[in-house]
């Protein structure tokens, strides 16, 4: 069995807390590695090293910091397959999905190459008599990030690439379920020219989280995960004087209007609802067809597509649609919610409960499920399932459909499928949700825009990546400058000339 490490001060370091977590192969159910869970003392040591390294890195000009990011992007392209292989083996997602995970993080690193432009301050000439005024965007110091299991490459890069290119040091606490890729990313950053100690990876559990939230050297904390933990991290981090951004749960609705292209809508729902086994915060988990006829036509299109989905290990290549979920506990939670849907009166149109894969009977595989006639009172509607389960809620009108999305406690993403531009425009303007798709099922913004939901899907004022990242990882200093003029004979200043 492999024993994993932390990454501190430019090298892999064994844990000394005596505590470990199990890393599974989700396809077989076997434990493939142990990951050390850091003590508070180990975490604080990493922070101390980062704090000592950061001032010199912060003094490097933005153009040279951007060159490190350029080289990092090249290395990501070089090692794409290697990273995806490791990612798939620990997470379970298909190889193409794993490459997409790396690619979306890479795109944020590409955006960060533009740091010299993003870090420019403002200047006002002659703000007063002989007075100039200018602002500077300066790094915070040492920043921290807590990232989830479902995107072990993308989300760490969404955090550490802008933080580092702004001149900060960064302490990453990745998910203990699939921790290997973040360490490989840290090694690539140093191969690209990043000084030792600027990016450190400390594996752990709540002990490390609390150490990050209470360590006075950590200036900011980013988090992606469930809403209850997001609330805890946001409250604790703010109480300890830190700048905090937290992204929580989701329940993303896709409204299907009567005039929509049903084949396009059905394909979009299958891809967005079941891809990566539904373990995505931007997955569409609720389809909302408007009108009974629309619902009947949509279900007719969905059933054969869902029934044909192929589930298997990532080693099966491109022949599978999604793999196992990440742990046995995740599988049991999904199946428990499926059973609750049945018990509460929803119609299970496609039943994946008995799915089993020969040779992988102990793997964490969950078959595809499709529910019809779900109502807002049901648990499968209210809760984030995070599995291959799509619920269909029939709406009698457009107003009822839009009301479902607007009244849900989560507001991460949503979509509408229609041929009517006026309806689409009204939907985009009125909906109280952070990311909106129009005939696009997973409206994840590209790296030069920002990613973030509304309502209980987010805690904090700034979104991830895009321009908001440069605001989050810097603080502004404004300088008002006046130089004396009118020097008297003998070299003395004529201060009257300044008035």
Tens digit of each residue's pLDDT (9 = 90 or more) over 286-304: 999 999 999 999 999 999 9
Q: Specify which residues 12 forms β-bridges with.
A: 7
Lookup: tokens for 107: 């795109």
Residue 394 and residue 471 in one domain: no
Angle at 190 between CA 187 and CA 191, to 5 degrees: 85
Residue 306 and residue 172 in one domain: no
Neighbours of 216 (CB within 10 A): 9
Residue 446 lies in a domain: no
Residue 339 and residue 235 in one domain: no
The pLDDT of residue 497: 46
The pLDDT of residue 483: 87
The pLDDT of residue 152: 98
Rg of the chain taking only CA atoms, in angstroms:
25
The pLDDT of residue 498: 44
Residue 141 lies in a domain: yes
The pLDDT of residue 484: 78
The active-site residue, picked from 143, 166, 246, 281, is: 281
Residue 193 and residue 264 in one domain: no
Residue 41 and residue 179 in one domain: yes
Residue 129 and residue 80 in one domain: yes
Classified as helix, coil or strand, 145 is: strand
The pLDDT of residue 320: 95
Supply φ then ψ for residue 197, to 5 degrees.
90, -10
Residue 38 and residue 165 in one domain: yes
The pLDDT of residue 199: 98
The pLDDT of residue 491: 52
Burial status of residue 498 (CB atoms within 10 A of its CB: 0-12, 13-18, 19 or more):
middle
The pLDDT of residue 494: 52
- Beta strands of 343-434 (E only): which ranges? 347-350, 369-372, 389-392, 410-411, 413-417
281's CB contacts (< 8 A; 6+ apart) are: 150, 224, 247, 249, 250, 412, 457
**For residues 40 and 210, what is the distance between their CA atoms, to the nearest angstrom?**
8
Residue 493 lies in a domain: no
Residue 496 lies in a domain: no
Q: Is position 238 annotated as part of the catalytic site?
A: no
**For residues 391 and 368, what is the distance between their CA atoms, to the nearest angstrom?**
11
**Helices (DSSP H) in 240-291: which residue ranges?**
262-274
Q: Which residues of the chain have pLDDT under 50?
A: 487, 493, 497-499
Query: Which pLDDT tens digit goes with each residue over 333-367?
Result: 999 999 999 999 999 999 999 999 999 999 999 99
Token pair 């292989």 is found at 85
* Residue 144 · residue 44 · CB < 8 Å: no
Residue 378 lies in a domain: yes
Residue 184 and residue 80 in one domain: yes
The structure's pTM equals 0.94
Residue 443 lies in a domain: no
Token pair 């153009």 is found at 63
Residue 94 and residue 30 in one domain: yes
**Helices (DSSP H) in 241-347: which residue ranges?**
262-274, 292-307, 328-343
Residue 27 and residue 152 in one domain: yes
Token pair 């379920």 is found at 177
The string of DSSP letters for 174-212 reads: --TTS-HHHHHHHHHHHHTTPPTTSEEE---SHHHHHHH
**For residues 162 and 273, what is the distance between their CA atoms, to the nearest angstrom?**
30
Residue 491 lies in a domain: no
CATH number for position 243: 3.40.605.10
Q: Which domain holds residue 164?
A: 2-248+457-479
CATH number for position 301: 3.40.309.10
Helices 421-430 and 398-407: crossing angle in degrees, nearest 10, is 30
Residue 294 and residue 387 in one domain: yes
**For residues 425 and 446, what is the distance between their CA atoms, to the nearest angstrom?**
21
Residue 418 and residue 297 in one domain: yes
Pairing between β-strand 347-350 and β-strand 410-411 as defined by DSSP bridges: unpaired
Lookup: tokens for 382: 């209210």
**For residues 313 and 324, what is the distance between their CA atoms, to the nearest angstrom?**
7
Give me the number of domains the chain comprises.
2
């Amino acid at each position: 069995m492999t024993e994993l490490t932390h990454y501190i001060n430019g090298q892999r370091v064994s844990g000394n807390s005596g505590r470990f977590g199990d890393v599974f192969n989700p396809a077989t159910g076997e434990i493939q590695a142990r990951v050390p869970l850091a003590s508070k003392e180990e975490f604080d040591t990493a922070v101390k090293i980062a704090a000592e390294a950061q001032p010199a890195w912060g003094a490097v000009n933005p153009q040279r910091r951007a060159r490190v990011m350029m080289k990092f992007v090249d290395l990501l392209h070089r090692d794409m397959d290697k990273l995806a292989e490791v990612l798939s083996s620990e997470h379970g997602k298909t190889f193409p999905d794993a490459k997409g995970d790396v690619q979306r993080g890479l795109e944020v690193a590409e955006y960060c190459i533009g740091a010299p432009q993003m870090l420019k301050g403002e200047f006002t000439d002659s703000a007063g008599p002989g007075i100039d005024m200018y602002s500077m965007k300066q790094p915070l110091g040492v920043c921290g990030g807590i990232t989830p299991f479902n995107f072990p490459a993308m989300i760490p890069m969404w955090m550490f690439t802008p933080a580092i290119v702004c001149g900060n040091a960064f302490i990453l606490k990745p998910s203990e379920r699939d921790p290997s890729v973040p360490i490989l990313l840290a090694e690539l950053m140093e191969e690209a020219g990043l000084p030792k100690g600027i990016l450190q990876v400390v594996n752990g559990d709540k002990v490390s989280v609390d150490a990050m939230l209470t360590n006075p050297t950590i200036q900011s904390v980013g988090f992606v995960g469930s809403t209850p933990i997001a609330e805890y991290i946001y409250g604790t981090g703010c109480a300890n004087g830190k700048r905090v951004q937290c992204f929580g749960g989701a329940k993303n609705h896709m409204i299907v209007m009567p005039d929509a292209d049903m084949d396009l809508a059905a394909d979009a729902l299958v891809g967005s609802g079941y891809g990566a086994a539904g373990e995505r915060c931007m997955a569409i988990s609720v389809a909302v067809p408007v009108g009974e006829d629309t619902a009947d036509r949509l279900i007719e299109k969905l059933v054969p597509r869902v029934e044909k989905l192929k589930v298997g290990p990532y080693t099966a290549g491109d022949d599978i649609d999604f793999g196992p979920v990440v742990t046995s506990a995740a599988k049991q939670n999904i199946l428990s919610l499926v059973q609750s849907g049945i018990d509460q009166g929803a119609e299970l149109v496609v039943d994946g409960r008995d799915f089993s894969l020969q040779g992988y009977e102990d793997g964490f595989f969950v078959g595809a499920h499709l529910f019809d006639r779900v109502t807002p009172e049901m648990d499968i509607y209210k809760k984030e399932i995070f599995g291959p389960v799509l619920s269909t809620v029939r709406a009698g009108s457009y107003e009822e459909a839009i009301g479902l999305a607007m009244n849900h406690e989560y507001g991460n993403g949503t979509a509408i499928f229609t041929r009517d531009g006026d309806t689409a425009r009204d939907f985009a303007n009125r909906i109280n949700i952070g990311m909106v798709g129009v005939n696009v099922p997973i409206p994840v913004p590209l790296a030069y825009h920002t990613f973030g939901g509304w309502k209980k899907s987010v805690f904090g004022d700034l979104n991830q990546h895009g321009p908001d990242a440069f605001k989050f990882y810097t603080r502004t200093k404004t300088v008002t400058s006046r130089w004396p003029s009118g020097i008297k004979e003998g070299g003395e200043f004529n201060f009257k000339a300044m008035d």
